[in-house]
Structure 1
Amino acid sequence: MWCLWCCLPDLDDALTIRYPMNRLIPKEKAAELLHHLQTAAIPYEYDAEKHRLTLLDAAGNEQLYFRLPLTFAPPTPAHPAAEVPLNYVILLIQSGYCALGYFEDGVNLDHKVFRSYMVRKKQGKSQIKYLKTKGKSRSGSRVRLGETLEFFENINERLQTYSEEYEVQCIAISCSKTLLPYLFSSKVATPFDKHDPRLYKIPKHVHTPIYDVLLDTNKFLLRGELIYEEAQQALVKELLGDAGETYEDDFAEDDEDLDW
């Protein structure tokens, strides 16, 4: 008796989810790599929104991505690889948690962590998501909603302070699509709008925002990163030698954090 599965020998390969490989690079090595790409006239395209290069082959096909350290200037023929002074804010927001800080040239000069009662304990669902299905009739829901509004007001007050005291040149942010409207519609306004060119989406899933996570995120942003498929490993080794640090990225269960 024949079996249907015997007729599908490649089904496992077809169903395999292939995640990209990642390699973190110290900024000194990232500067060397960027200089090499420019002097060797290796073709690439620069994506300003993601602050990364797409390396191309001779036929113009994409090979791999090279995310530049946050403090690197966009490369141009007239301006070779270089680190530039940068004043920036890192803003990490999840339901009930926020960590934000002001940085100059990679050094944290000020930070603040906020917590709020926004999550329904039994269901583990944020009050914002609950409102979409059940409403806000009960007293506990009204308390959570009130704390949610205050949560974003406190965040924006601190952002306003940074904007008034410093010349902020970049805002690196991790925030889900569900929470963004509350950030930008708060009674206390943000010192930027959602189309501000200084906004930079952090290309990594961020764990519950606390101070240590804020510092870890900063370290990640100060490094370069190669993102590639397994087939490009030989090319990566040729570009880097033994430098760099391979790691498994933390893919979010809900990709809202990565797409807004």
Structure 2
Amino acid sequence: MEDQSIIKIFDEKELEQLIKDFQLKCPDVDYISSKHQLDFSSAQSRLSIRLPYCIEYKKDRVIAANFLIIIIHSGEAALAYSEENQIVEHKMVKAYMVRQKQGKSQIKHLKTKGKSKAGSRVRLAGTDHFFEEINEKIAEWDEYFNIERIAISCNKTLQPYLYNRPDAALQKDDQRLLKIPKHIQEANFDNLTHIHNYLISTELKFDNSDKEFINDIISEIDND
């Protein structure tokens, strides 16, 4: 299973047709909410569709949805609000959080060394302001827009600084949160747009034995 995958943008009508075609071959269907994915199975085959984050799946129907992208690294964050498959608003946030000689964040340093010199206090103040800016923007978008899904990339070391705050715009158990299923090297605008394009795409996962079936379906959809 999942020896191969195809990533492609389908509109809502095409995606509904794709789901119906998969069901004809594999009638047993499970929606995995943590992955925003449909798993299809039969005695002979197993197929999966990682749904685009710009849609909601409800009883074999797909409905357009708005979503946020949140990418947080030590000292840099890239945020975006997406509507109708387009980034409508975005924000880049930077902070002085990295100890220059060691090249690691002050947060990671404190786990082993504790609070120390004036430079550490400056970096900690920068950290607080960094997450304050992030939370302010998320709260603003959440108030003004109808957000169905939130795609996030934030390592476990930084998560308490996002969620465990008096001004936290999100809770860790927010049902809209979905982990971005890709490694992101840097939180910059280029990577933000790259990830957005990936998240509005559909990913088909299949075994080699079903390659011909998948190609036939895609050809039919493309020719309609």
TM-score by length of 1: 0.75
Q: Which amino acid aligns with 1:204?
A: K
Q: Which position in structure 2 is the counterpart of 1:74?
A: 57
Decide which of 181, 184, 187 is 1:206's aligned counterpart: 184
Corresponding residue pairs, total: 216
Alignment partner for residue 63 of structure 1, among 42, 46, 56? 46
Give how far 1:242 is off.
Answer: 9.1
Tell me the distance in 2 between the aligned counterparts of 1:123 and 1:64. Answer: 46
1:162 to 141, 166, 169: 141
For the Cα contact (< 8 Å) 2:56–2:64, is it kept in 1?
no
Does structure 1 conserve the Cα–Cα contact (< 8 Å) formed by 2:26 and 2:42? Answer: no
SS in 2 for 1:89: strand
Q: CA deviation at 1:243?
A: 5.1
Q: Flag the 1:235–1:39 CA change in 2: closer, same or farther, 3 A.
A: closer
Q: What residue number does 2:109 align with? A: 130
User: For the Cα contact (< 8 Å) 2:95–2:126, is it kept in 1?
Assistant: yes
Shift of 1:140: 1.5
TM-score normalised by length of structure 2? 0.86
> What's the secondary structure of 2:20's corresponding residue?
helix
Residue equivalent to 2:8 = 25
- Give the Cα–Cα distance (whole angstroms) in 2 for the partners of residues 227 and 38 of structure 1: 14
Tell me which residue corresponds to 2:222: none
Cα distance between partner residues in 1 of 2:120 and 2:217:
54
CA contact (8 A) 2:53 2:67 kept: no
Q: Against the structure 1 CA distance between its residues 122 and 64, is the aligned structure 2 distance closer, same or farther, given a 3 Å change threshold?
A: farther
Q: Matched residues in 1 for 2:186 and 2:111: separation? A: 23
Residues 191-233 of structure 1 deviation map (CA, whole Å, 9 limit, x = unaligned)? x3111111111111122111221111111011111345xxx22
Out of 186, 193, 203, the residue aligned to residue 215 of structure 1 is 193
Q: Give the letter for the 2:82 counterpart.
A: F
- Percent identity of the aligned residues? 38
The answer (yes or no) to whether the contact 1:116–1:151 under 8 Å persists in 2 is yes
Matched, 1:107 2:86: yes
Alpha carbons of 1:41 and 1:234: their partners in 2 closer, same or farther (altered >3 Å)?
Answer: closer
- Counterpart AA for 2:200: L
Following TM superposition, by how much is the alpha carbon of 1:114 offset from its aligned partner in structure 2, in angstroms?
0.6
Are 1:234 and 2:204 counterparts? no
Task: Look up the match of 2:20.
Answer: 35
Q: 1:213 to 1:31 in 2, by over 3 A?
A: farther
* Aligned equivalent of 2:150: 171
Q: State the AA in 2 paired with 1:74.
A: Y
Listed one character per residue, the Cα deviations across residues 141-188 of structure 1 (whole Å, up to 9, x for unaligned) are 111111111100010011111122112221111111111100012342
Please give the residue correspondences for 1:248-259 in structure 2 after superposition, counting only pairs within 5 Å.
Answer: none
Distance 1:57 1:38, change over 3 A: closer
1:41, distance to aligned residue in structure 2 (A)? 5.1
**Structure ID, larger Rg:** 1
Stretches of structure 1 that go unaligned for 5 or more consecutive residues are 1-18, 245-260
SS at match of 2:167: coil
- Measured after TM superposition, the shift of residue 85 of structure 1 is 2.4
